Each structure stands twice: as structure tokens, then as C-alpha cells.
Amino acid sequence: MHHLALSAILLKCDKHPEGISVVLGLFLATALSFLQGLVLLAGYISNNAFPRPLSKEDEAIYLRRLDEGDEEARNILIEHNLRLVAHIIKKFDGVGEDPDDLISIGTIGLIKAINTFNTDKGTKLATYAARCIENEILMSRSIGKMW
């Protein structure tokens, strides 16, 4: 499915060559950000040294900054919630999934959670993120069974 979307974008870019560099630049920036997150997570897991969870007050500050478009706040929220990914992937231990794949997929779920979290709903970030992480893993597993 992702290959089809990428193919459609690239076909469109063939007609507009300047668009190729824009799309490629966005893709590379996103991929680099994701890989940096994975390296960070792998380091935390191997050393069992995750950053401490944010206090309620600090989390509220960073969520407010995130609402204002602050990229640093987004990264801090992701970094300080990585232990949640490690905790949730333990539920899938022994079900035949590669732990590195689970970490990657769980991190995608965490990033999606941070990007879509709405403070007005009255839900805690950790509760929402845990559900997003688990759903991302379950969705990935069900897609994998289809192929």
C-alpha cells in the first residue's frame, strides 16, 4: 500500500521535475528523524536507562508548546515516553515477532500518538499513547498475515 502511494507521488513528480527534490527532501528528513529515534530507543533499551517520565507539570508545559508547533517539545515528549514502548512490546514477547520490529512499530505508534494527542479530550497522554502503540503493533501484525 505504501509502495503504491509513493509510486503515485513519483509519477506526479515526473511531470514536475522540481517536485522530485521536494518530495525526496521531505522523505529523507522524515526517515532521518525516525532513524534517530530508533537509535535513541535501542540505546535506552540496551542500557535500560530511559529518561524519567515527565512530571504532570512538565508534561503540560511541553504539550502546550507542542500545540504551538514547537518541534523540540514534540521530541522531548517522544523521548520521555519511550519506556512506554518498551513496556508494551513485552506483551508481545514470545509470539514470534522480532523484538527490533516491535520496537520500530511501537515507536511509530508513539510518534503518531504525540502528533495526534488532544489535551481537550481529558485523557492522559500515557493512556492515549499506550493505546496507539498497541494498535500500531496489532495493525502491523494483521497486515503481515494478509501477505
For the chain, list the domains and their CATH numbers.
2-146 (1.10.1740.10)
Separation between Cα atoms, residue 42 and residue 40, nearest integer Å: 6
Determine the pLDDT at residue 127: 97
pTM: 0.67
The backbone torsions φ and ψ at residue 16, rounded to the nearest 5 degrees and listed phi first, read -130, 85
List the one residue out of 77, 145, 128, 132 whose CA is nearest residue 106.
132
CA-based Rg of the chain, rounded to a whole angstrom? 17
pLDDT, one tens digit per residue, over 87-136 is 999 988 777 778 888 989 999 999 999 999 999 999 999 999 999 999 99
pLDDT higher than 90, residue 67? yes
Is pLDDT at 82 greater than 60 in this prediction? yes
**117 and 63 in contact (C-beta within 8 Å)?**
yes
- pLDDT band for position 23 (50/70/90)? low
